[in-house]
Structure 1
């Protein structure tokens, strides 16, 4: 039977729904997989596939699961509504066959997020890059050994991400902390960097953006180990997610305690960084204004 099987990659919403159902079983219902399957009258395999996004789950099945977990009222209604829209695909799915799965997953999460708290250590945040900066950064840092066509595709995707972010009806809030070294590292040429500084100044003026610089004189701080992004979503039942990227792969952190640690670290870094006004002044100096 293929009607309920996931014959194509799951959408971001289907993954989030599956993750939340698993989390509710483990942390709220305190039930093992076998116990839940027995209460539902399902096989253990069926429930396991649902929780791992390998099988589609219908709104009616979500209701059955929540009833076993004794979850009702507004929380149950919200999850069932979410299940009805979980199969909807977004613009990022067009890139599913041409880009690494980690990257398309991130684009989907970013597009769904209500807010992003992003720390950038080595290079400027992708949502804030100019096309020239993105091209040079991708070619020389992120995809140094990739074919030119792959680099161009990645840059085009980044520009599409920025367009989708800027055109959202309810703009995603972006709190970006950028390390001073990323601002002073010349990517491309001085002209490329000047245009990049002007772009950051323009974005920092938006009502949904807060931009701060982490100065070198701040000394040691939690972000010295690498860049990361904490993402929050509009559905209150959906846990926050942390995204950590390296040269060849990405890590998604959903464990509540670990996410909390990253969130506290980011807030601490915000207190250590230059104020938005001081950060803007630095950008203006760098741009030669």
Structure 2
């Protein structure tokens, strides 16, 4: 059966989780909800666990059963059902893109805004190809050279969402970067960092991008615990926090946990240099590279 072969993509998982949340809020059991629609209980279970497809036309009747008729909830869920199996542009890179990275790219493409504190690297959405290649080669230690090149291409292609997106506005992006990052050096490639600093200045001129620098002289702040990224979506989707380490990334969800990171980011922003002072520091550092 086609529904049994559905791939549990991130969008399909988010749809299933939302439907399960509304069913539980309505106080309905899985069996009762399935019976009301004339479905088999196993079908309902597979939909909620992202193992079966749900047609967009079935979303509104299912939500109405749970007492949810608000168009600002129904329409996004219908859109998610429509796009649940859609493959992103990164599918052409095959196994080079891990499942976790695919999830990150999907979240990024669906988001309306992202806020990131990056203590050790220029954020991926602001990296030049040369900088990305050097960083990936140094950190993706299990990847062969051809995959390093492919991942650098992917990182550059991601940046299209900062200038245009089909059917939507560009991503709003706010990055706080530690000053130490501006002083990185790459043996044998002296121009990489200068080009990267120039790119930060250019990208910072876009109206949807905010760049601040955390100075070396900063007082203690929550960002000292490491990189974190807050990804916000249009209603009704909850905000997600992305965390990374050398083995990849993982996501934090839940109102209380996300609120902690949002407060942390506000404090990071308050500690960092202003946008104008940050730009001046980047310009000064770039001139020192000549």
TM-score normalised over the length of structure 2: 0.87
CA RMSD in angstroms comes to: 2.4
Deviation at 1:266, TM superposition (A): 1.1
In the alignment, is the contact (CA less than 8 A) between 2:227 and 2:244 conserved in 1? Answer: yes
In the alignment, is the contact (CA less than 8 A) between 2:214 and 2:271 conserved in 1? Answer: yes
Report Cα offsets for 1:108-142 as digits up to 9, x if no partner.
Answer: 211121111111121110011111111111111x2
Given the superposition, is the C-alpha separation of residues 157 and 30 from structure 1 closer, same or farther in structure 2, using an over 3 Å criterion?
A: same
In the alignment, is the contact (CA less than 8 A) between 1:126 and 1:158 conserved in 2? Answer: yes
Structure 2 counterpart of 1:100, from 89, 98, 101: 98
Query: What residue in structure 1 maps to residue 19 of structure 2?
Result: 21
Distance 2:42 2:173 in 1: 40
Report Cα offsets for 1:155-181 as digits up to 9, x if no partner.
Answer: 111111123543325211100111122
Report Cα offsets for 1:55-111 as digits up to 9, x if no partner.
Answer: 111224323431232111313344234423433333123335331111111112111
Query: What residue in structure 2 maps to residue 197 of structure 1?
Result: 197
Alignment of 1:67-86 (within 5 A): 67-74=64-71, 75-86=73-84
TM-score normalised over the length of structure 1: 0.88
Gaps of 5+ in 1: none
Distance 2:32 2:221 in 1: 45
Query: What residue in structure 2 maps to residue 208 of structure 1?
Result: 208
Distance 1:144 1:73 in 2: 48
In the alignment, is the contact (CA less than 8 A) between 1:111 and 1:165 conserved in 2? Answer: no
Secondary structure in 1 aligned to 2:217?
helix
Secondary structure in 2 aligned to 1:216?
coil
